[in-house]
Amino acid sequence: MFETAELGREISKAEFEGLVPEIRARLLTAQRALRATSHSVILIISGVEGAGKSGVVNRLHEWLDVRGIETTAFWNESDEENERPRYWRFWRRLPPRGAIGMFFGSWYTKPIVDRAFAKKSDATFEREMQRIVSLEQMLVQDGAVVLKFWFHLPKREQARRLKEKEKRSRKNWAFIPDAADFAKRYDRFARISERAIRSTDTAAAPWHIIEASDARYRDLTAGQILADVLENLGSSDTEHAATNAARESSGDSPAPSVMATIDLDSSVDRAEYDERMPRLQAKLGGLTWKAWNEKRSTVIIFEGSDAAGKGGAIRRLIAPIDARLFRTISVAAPTADERARHYLWRFWRNLPRAGTITIYDRSWYGRVLVERVEGFATDAEWRRAYREINEFEEQLVGHGVILVKFWLHIDPDEQLRRFREREQIEWKKHKITDEDWRNREKGQAYESAIHDMIAHTSTDIAPWHLVPARDKRWARLEVVQTVVKVLKQALK
Amino acid sequence: MFETAELGREISKAEFEGLVPEIRARLLTAQRALRATSHSVILIISGVEGAGKSGVVNRLHEWLDVRGIETTAFWNESDEENERPRYWRFWRRLPPRGAIGMFFGSWYTKPIVDRAFAKKSDATFEREMQRIVSLEQMLVQDGAVVLKFWFHLPKREQARRLKEKEKRSRKNWAFIPDAADFAKRYDRFARISERAIRSTDTAAAPWHIIEASDARYRDLTAGQILADVLENLGSSDTEHAATNAARESSGDSPAPSVMATIDLDSSVDRAEYDERMPRLQAKLGGLTWKAWNEKRSTVIIFEGSDAAGKGGAIRRLIAPIDARLFRTISVAAPTADERARHYLWRFWRNLPRAGTITIYDRSWYGRVLVERVEGFATDAEWRRAYREINEFEEQLVGHGVILVKFWLHIDPDEQLRRFREREQIEWKKHKITDEDWRNREKGQAYESAIHDMIAHTSTDIAPWHLVPARDKRWARLEVVQTVVKVLKQALK
């Protein structure tokens, strides 16, 4: 999830100064239009300590017309607040229709902090997240746009900032409560925050994770998402405008996308491959019997670019596994039986029995990839699918299923080379169709879809493994090795 | 909640036989129409032990075309099922579009039973309910109608049935697992079931609580709701047909309504009143100071028929309370400030500080009463308000607020008499408006709205107190006495 906000995106001072006049003009125009509507905007500013949340708030104040914003920093509770149910402090600050309420801190803060310091149980935390989902849905149904920003910093960057701050001014630093404590607990916070985001990333009120290492990129991205949302709101005036608007925004999309982090030059020579692969496969064979004995089942899914070599990787993976222990499911267009039910039905029904393995060649992620890009799923359908898929995978993992997700990646040039090769070689001709060529033309749309998929569904409990696949040997080794590693960790 | 299913409603054999041909014809026609749609129907049959759930299933099989129904009794889990995540058994039985899946037992059974036998914690139970809300919403969004029946028996009736069954055949009885256990735990089951219903009573998949003491009434009501829903489904064909259809149905509505249980002849003579009221008021005064010392705040709401005497009752209630301790809020048409926000905002902002009391003359229930009947709220808005209100009240009670809800009731004749009287007496004239007369004409619509309100929002944590108010003295005594009783129980 957060890997999509660790890409080192930045904007130069010159570029920033060139872009600011436009974003300011857009924001002011859209804010004026907002006044005439029956919508309010609730802007939630959250994220890791040190990411510069107050910087964002100040910047947005600079860019917007302050007469239409009410900003509240939810810090220590007053006695007035303590005496009422917990949400009272938020209710009293709800912006009226036509205005923007900027919430610096929000209903997310306390549950995350309480859980991080283990003051509340896991179940209570989950219950709290569900309460938030209800609250946000209720507000959105009433016409509010709930816009949620999560500003992210990589661990090392946070540490660097805290240190520097400390150096600059021991005095100021001392006033910021618990900041050092927070830093020490980075990993725990990251895990719990991720879970909060996953549980509340709804179609009605989706999260926007924004990379905060570069302040200019951070502020501009926040401003752009806000402008997108406000503009979209003005243009439509249906009952669901708020929902649609909230769903809009391309803020967390590419340039560069998370795929840029995949090192496609990774390769391994034949000698090394020939030496390592048999050893890995032998280990894998043993581990699958171990899983059988422990009655732990495994689900492995393969997604990837066309011609990235999923089939070849799957063949190497199953080679050492006893045929009684695995099934491979090739996911193509749904059958009549499958179309007659919910899209997840076909995947539920093929879940493995205890101790066995199901390998899906393409998977439920089709909903947010091909179905999104080709328009087979409506906008509302694929957007809410992120949460549906996360909940599905939670149920798998909660039941003890070992889940491994692979994305096999090649670049467009390599793909073209392979397509041409397939056309040349007689026994590979059947593997290339007109559809493949058509898909290729939608490269940018697919790139966005993949990036968003990883942003929303690469989770602590079910991370994506991004595999560079220009070198087939490298990809196959990495696939087998990853499964070996995951099984080893999961089994006793 | 269950009080609306303890009204002794029954249908004579002759009447039943007269009605069956019509309901069968309706069901068969609607079922045929269903086949051509992209909707499936998931019919959940649940309720207390002994309510005759299998009788309902058999009856519906008799009335419907069996080729379009798939019935599953979810009883003991098979080993196949045990080896997969818990919902697998339900997913594999999902009906295809055009068909009806009858679920005898469902995703509700295990969480309720586990909680009743204290095998799972409260937080886990709540988490489970939220999971169900997600699941049902997902299915409904995909075009399914999730129709949920809860068959209810009063405690005494259940005990009688179990006893009789035992007498008739000790042998058969022995095969029904745990039935005696269930009976012993009636109260605990009722409380947990009520909570399950409250947490999952959504606009997308609302509950229908059906009185099951009379088998003919039970079966006919179930058949009628099903027919209503199926017919509604056929008539509309929008994206939200399923949702709308699921929301439809007048199944849990009047004839007689729950108001029939209110004994309007209750009265008390002046001498008794004069003796008891001062004593009760003295107690109340002391208790409110006790609440102040314990920092427990109280919210008391008054709803009732026009001219039922809310104002008079409130005056007697506040007479002994120190003015620093209470506020009364008279709820009329919302101000501009209030209209600019969510309808619950005006109630949130007036919540009492610790130790004090807020008395609302009319309340948030306006959403499901006047706003429903007068069309100020859309269908979707007032239907989802039941859950919103229940969640709001849960937060109040969860924070330690003492919540008391009164419905003051008079019959239409008495109301007419009071209206006329008000017109005659100079200083009462201002109390009667054209609007009152208009409301009166909508008596039946209000009666349904009140009945539904009580069915959905009279909960274990926040029950409605139905007060007969034809005799004003009786009503006033009962109000003060109830508050005294509730405060006494709540305070240390």
Amino acid letter for position B230 = L
> What residue has token string 């607020």?
B401
Task: Give yes or no for B21 touching A (CB within 8 A).
Answer: no
Which A residues 34-73 touch B at CB under 8 Å? 40
pLDDT of residue A239: 39
Q: What distance in Å separates residue A364's CA from the closest CA in chain B?
A: 15
Residue-level pLDDT at B297: 94
Q: What is the pLDDT of residue B243?
A: 42
Residue A227 to residue A234: CA distance in whole angstroms: 11
Closest approach of A396 to chain B, Cα-based (Å):
6
Per-residue pLDDT band at A188 (split at 50, 70, 90): confident
| A91 and chain B in contact, CB less than 8 A | yes
Which chain B residues in 439-478 lie under 8 Å from chain A, judged by CB atoms?
Answer: none
Asked if the model's pLDDT at residue A80 lies above 50, the reply is yes
R_g (Cα) of chain A, nearest Å = 24
B77, B105 in Cβ contact below 8 A? no
**Residues of chain A with C-beta less than 8 angstroms from the C-beta of B40:** 340-341
Q: Do A395 and B86 count as a contact with CB atoms less than 8 A apart?
A: yes
Helices (DSSP H) in B6-94: which residue ranges?
A: 13-35, 53-63, 79-82, 88-91
Nearest CA to CA, how far is B315 from chain A (Å)? 26
Q: How far is A349 from chain B (nearest CA, A)?
A: 6
Residue A142 to residue B342, Cβ atoms within 8 A: yes
Q: Give B406's strand partners.
A: B302, B465
Strand order in the sheet with A100-104: A69-73, A100-104, A40-47, A144-152, A207-211
How far is the alpha carbon of B179 from chain A, nearest alpha carbon, in Å? 30
334-373 in chain A: CB under 8 A from chain B: 337, 340-345, 348-349, 351, 353-354
From A88, A131, A396, residue closest to B351, measured CB to CB: A88
pLDDT score, position A235: 52
pLDDT band at A470 (very low <50, low <70, confident <90, very high): very high
**Which residues in B lie closer than 8 A to residue A398 (C-beta atoms)?**
85
Q: How far apart are CA A273 and CA A472, in angstroms?
A: 10
Put simply, the answer to whether B341 touches A94 (Cβ < 8 Å) is yes
Contacts of residue A86 in chain B, CB cutoff 8 Å?
Answer: 395, 399
Span B380-403, pLDDT tens digits = 889 889 999 998 999 999 899 999
Q: In this complex, is the C-beta atom of B270 within 8 Å of any C-beta atom belonging to chain A?
A: no
**Interchain contact, B295 vs A92, CB within 8 Å:** no
In chain B, residues with a C-beta closer than 8 Å to the C-beta of A94 are: 341-342, 345
* Partner-chain contact A85 B396, CB within 8 Å: yes
Cis upstream peptide for B334 (omega within 30°): no
B398 contacts A353? CB cut-off 8 A = no
What's the half-sphere exposure (Cβ side, CA atoms, 13 Å) at A445?
13
**Mean pLDDT confidence for A222-240:** 74
Nearest to A345 among B94, B340, B351 (CB): B94
Closest C-alpha among B132, B85, B309, B33 to residue A352: B85
Q: Could you tell me where the DSSP H helices lie in B294-323?
A: 310-318
Q: How far is A340 from chain B (nearest CA, A)?
A: 5
Q: If you measure CA to CA, which chain B residue comes closest to A356?
A: B83
Which residue blocks in A322-404 are alpha helix, DSSP H? 336-339, 345-348, 370-373, 379-398
Q: What is the mean pLDDT of residues A47-57?
A: 87
CA distance A15 to A12: 5
Please answer yes or no on whether B144 and A342 come within 8 Å at the CB atom: yes
**pLDDT beyond 50 at A360:** yes
In the prediction, which pLDDT does A147 show? 94
Average per-residue pLDDT in chain B? 86
Q: What is the pLDDT of residue A238?
A: 39
The phi, psi pair for A233, rounded to 5°, reads: -65, -45
Q: Cβ A348–B92 below 8 Å, yes or no?
A: yes
Q: Is B85 in contact with A396 (Cβ distance < 8 A)?
A: yes
* Mean pLDDT (whole number) for B238-256: 43
pLDDT at A257 > cutoff 70: yes
A370-425 pLDDT, tens digit each = 999 999 998 888 988 999 999 899 999 989 999 999 999 998 889 888 888 888 87
Lowest mean pLDDT among A92-101, A179-188, B359-368: A179-188
Provide mean pLDDT across the span B151-159.
85
Task: Please check the confidence at residue A135 and state whether its pLDDT lies above 50.
Answer: yes
pLDDT tens digits, B328-338: 999 888 888 88
Report d(CA A466, CA A112) in Å as an integer. Answer: 29
ipTM of the modeled complex: 0.75
SS (H, E, C) A132-192: HHHHHHHHHHCCEEEEEEEEECCHHHHHHHHHHHHHHCHHHHHHCCCHHHHHHCHHHHHHH
Q: What is the average pLDDT score of chain A? A: 86
Q: Which residues of A touch B141 (CB under 8 A)?
A: 381, 384
Q: Which residue, among B127, B294, B338, would best test binding to A if mutated, counting the most A CBs under 10 Å from its CB?
A: B127
pLDDT surpasses 60 at A189 = yes
The stretch A24-32 carries a mean pLDDT of 91
Chain A CA closest to residue B123: A123
Determine the residue of chain B that is closest to A85 in CA distance.
B399
Average pLDDT over residues B346-372: 92
Residue A143, min C-alpha distance to chain B (Å): 9
pLDDT, residue A160, reads 81
Non-local (6+) Cβ contacts of A159 within 8 A are A183, A186
Q: How confident is the model at residue B293 (pLDDT cuts 50, 70, 90)?
A: very high
Q: Per-residue pLDDT for A122 more than 90?
A: no
Q: Inform me whether the pLDDT recorded for B481 exceeds 90.
A: yes
Asked if B353 and A98 come within 8 Å (Cβ–Cβ), the reply is no
Contact B398 A85 (CB under 8 A): yes
**pLDDT band at B248, cuts 50/70/90?**
very low
Query: Cβ of B340 and A96 within 8 Å?
Result: yes
Q: Determine whether the interchain pair A97/B342 forms a contact, defined as Cβ–Cβ distance below 8 Å.
A: no
Question: What is the predicted pLDDT for the residue at A245?
Answer: 39
> How far is residue A197's CA from residue B444's CA, in Å, rounded to a whole number?
47
Give dist(CA B332, CA B362) in Å, integer: 8
The winner for highest mean pLDDT among A195-204, A361-370, B183-192 is A361-370
**How far does the CA of residue A104 sit from the closest CA of chain B (Å)?**
20
Least confident of B114-118, B174-178, B254-258, B373-377: B174-178
Spatial contact of B388 and B344, defined as CB atoms under 8 Å apart: yes
Nearest CA-CA distance, residue A155 and chain B, Å:
31
CA distances from B445 to B228, B261, B365, B442 (A): 18, 18, 15, 5
CB contacts under 8 A, B 136-195 vs A, are 138-139, 141-142, 144
Q: What is the pLDDT of residue A174?
A: 52
* Cβ pairs A/B, distance under 8 A: 119
Chain B from 112 to 131: CB within 8 A of any A CB? 121, 123-124, 126-127, 130-131
Residue A369 has a pLDDT of 94
For residue B96, list chain A residues with Cβ-Cβ distance below 8 A. 337, 340-341
Element (H, E) at B180: helix B179-184
Q: Do B96 and A340 touch (CB under 8 A)?
A: yes
Report whether pLDDT(A244) > 50: no
When pLDDT is averaged across residues A151-165 and rounded to a whole number, the result is: 82
pLDDT confidence of residue A167: 67
Please count the CA atoms within 13 angstroms of the CA of A184 that sit on its side-chain side: 5
Give yes or no for a cis peptide into A206 (omega within 30° of 0): no
The pLDDT of residue B448 is above 80: yes
Contact B142 A342 (CB under 8 A): yes
pLDDT at B249 over 80: no
pLDDT tens column, A298-320: 999 999 988 899 999 999 999 99
CB nearest A349 (choices: B92, B139, B395): B92
* Cβ within 8 Å, pair B399-A126: no
Which residues of chain B does A138 touch, with a Cβ-Cβ cutoff of 8 Å? Answer: 342, 388
pLDDT at B183: 65
